[in-house]
Amino acid sequence: MSLFLPLALCTLAACCGARSPPHPVLGPPPLFPLGCNSSDVLDIANFIVQDINRDQKDGYVLSLNRVSDAREHPQEAGLGSLFYFTLDVLETGCPVLSRKSWKNCGVRHLHESVYGQCKAIFYINKARRIFFLPAYNCTLRPVSQSKITTTCPDCPSSSPHDLSNPKFLETATESLARYNDKSPSKQYSLVKITKTSKQWVFGPAYFVEYLIQESCPKSQASSCALQPPNSVPVGICHGSLTERHSEKSVSVTCDFFESEAPTPRGENPTVNPRPVNLFKAEEPQQTTHQPKAVPKGTVQYLPDLDNKAEDSQGTDPVEAFPVQLDLTTDPQGEPLDVSFLFLDPMEGKLVVLPFPSKEQRSAECPGPAQMDNPLILPP
């Protein structure tokens, strides 16, 4: 009996050891596809486009054409969700310096369209009223001029800012001189040309868009110096010059930016209230946490697809808009510290995943486009 008991205990221990379960293998965190045309998704897309436009210091306001993909990644309890959005966008005629909402800006005519795609990671914590854009990247291209010529041979041929032809500078200077002649008091000088195009009417016609800054009062125009080169642009002008035989025809219109001081987010809070916590996060003197730099993004302009290198033809069409937004390559995700967004002292770390591919997107994506011409829809 004394020999049997130790033997039984050893056998039981061996069995227990054999039955101990292996350590579980963790899978990637859940990422839920969303419908691209739902009201909630469109609201988030609107916030994203607004914040991308606010972050720009140059160029034109982007408008939302459609939601191409949308995913939600719920965080730990009390921390809300991260959203991964792919948006198809169009350039409007409003300079970003105008600080207009994209909804108040018209998109360009087809022959001068600039279109593209943005990828964005957006953080929402509804309980704490936080809406925050940690990262985005956009890639834009002008519409194919060869395809425009095929469908509309008489349309102007556009270029973002082709200054190789001296006629464009001539158009800008002569049209601005025409505007200054008619201005009752203020005078303006050229900052830079932002768009150019040309067309044959009864002769060559040239079209330019350019930023202007205040110069001298008209009464002092002959004696005072121009404003320093770092003066802030105050408006945008559209000028044209048409030649027929030996005659010139010059026209110009100018639009001026709002002079009122912007709110912390560049908009009127009585019209479109924004989360209080997000305002506080941008004002270090009012927070208990010093804001730290977080990833932002860029808007990259690429040439017309007609100008792609010959050896790139026939490749995957997705390469036409190589938008990358990978804050991590770890399938389990990496932490992103957003503690500075919270008013009360607390640690807020989100789990950021690799940006999802579109293979697993919702069957309801992409959503319907505002402008559905295939010439201005990314693949």
Across the range 238-242, mean pLDDT stands at 95
pLDDT at 30: 80
Rounded percentage of the chain residues whose pLDDT exceeds 70: 75
Give the model's confidence band at 304: pLDDT under 50 very low, under 70 low, under 90 confident, else very high: confident
Least confident among 56-70, 137-151, 341-355, 364-378: 341-355
- SS3 assignment, position 354: coil
pLDDT at 26: 54
| Domains within the chain, CATH numbers bracketed | 28-156+303-307+316-378 (3.10.450.10), 161-256 (3.10.450.10)
Those residues whose C-beta lies under 8 Å from the C-beta of residue 312, and which sit 6 or more positions away, are: 319
Give the model's confidence band at 313: pLDDT under 50 very low, under 70 low, under 90 confident, else very high: very low
Q: Is the per-residue pLDDT at 7 higher than 50?
A: no
**What is the reported pTM?**
0.80
Q: Kind and range of the H or E element at 54?
A: helix 39-54
- SS3 assignment, position 319: helix
Q: How many Å apart are CA 16 and CA 119, to the nearest integer?
A: 52
Nearest one of 295, 289, 204 to 241, comparing CA atoms: 204
pLDDT at 221: 57
Neighbours of 1 (CB within 10 A): 4
- Neighbour-count burial of 182, counting CB atoms closer than 10 A to its CB (0-12 exposed, 13-18 middle, 19+ buried): exposed
Give the model's confidence band at 278: pLDDT under 50 very low, under 70 low, under 90 confident, else very high: very low
Contact 135, 119 (CB under 8 A): no
The string of pLDDT tens digits covering residues 75-114 is: 988 899 999 999 999 999 999 999 999 999 999 999 999 9
What letter represents residue 202's amino acid?
F
**Which of 70-84, 289-303, 332-346 has the largest mean confidence?**
70-84
Mean pLDDT of the chain: 80
pLDDT at 78: 84
Across the range 167-195, mean pLDDT stands at 94
**Which of 115-124, 258-267, 305-314 has the largest mean confidence?**
115-124
The string of pLDDT tens digits covering residues 340-354 is: 888 877 778 899 999
Q: How many Å apart are CA 10 and CA 252, to the nearest integer?
A: 97
